[in-house]
Amino acid sequence: MELEAVRRELTREIEAALAAQSAAARFRGARHVVASAGIAALQIEYSNGLSLGDVLLRASTAPPTPDRRDFALIVIESLSVDGLIPTTSERSDIDRNICSLAESALAEILSRFKYPFRGQTYEKRRALEGLHASVVELLKPLAPVRGSRSV
């Protein structure tokens, strides 16, 4: 999975969503981008009926890989956009799967930010929403410093 390409595509879809008139259709494209990123990261055989919730369920229990970690980053970034990943009580399974994915894919990083591993799902999701910028920034590759030499 090409993380930066997914981020660019997700950004385009979110910008397009802001112009959409229908609330139901507003984030359809962006959700599709997130689900497609998960399908690619987990190497799931695509099925037309596969929802974002289905992908999150599979991702929460998938073996650890760099692509799964990148997918976790995409999901956390998506939490910064209100409404992209639903928060209704009927979607508590999605929240549990998001938290499980983040905790297993990014445990060391979350512990640095005092993530409430033993908290309630609602508290955990809110913590992830607040941490999205910090977690994503922390995992960006370091840029070489100008004038530095390789050893």
The larger pLDDT score, comparing residue 133 to residue 62, is at 62
Give the span between the Cα atoms of 39 and 83, in whole angstroms.
Answer: 21
Tokens of 142: 């370091």
Q: What tens digit of pLDDT does each residue of 96-109 get?
A: 999 999 999 999 88
Give the span between the Cα atoms of 70 and 4, in whole angstroms.
Answer: 10
Determine the average pLDDT of the residues in 103-116: 91
Reference 29, options 46, 47, 17, 44; nearest CA is: 17
Domain locations in the chain as residue ranges: 3-139
Q: What tens digit of pLDDT does each residue of 47-84 get?
A: 777 888 899 999 999 999 999 999 999 999 898 888 88
Q: Residue 58 CB: number of other CB atoms within 10 A?
A: 16
The residue type found at 143 is A
Determine the average pLDDT of the residues in 113-136: 86
Can you give the C-alpha Rg of the chain in angstroms?
A: 16
pTM to 2 decimals?
0.81
Give the span between the Cα atoms of 65 and 70, in whole angstroms.
Answer: 9
Give the span between the Cα atoms of 64 and 34, in whole angstroms.
Answer: 18
Q: From residue 137, how far is each of 50, 55, 73, 131 by CA, in Å? A: 30, 25, 10, 10
The rounded percent of the chain whose pLDDT value lies above 70 is: 81
Give the span between the Cα atoms of 128 and 119, in whole angstroms.
Answer: 12
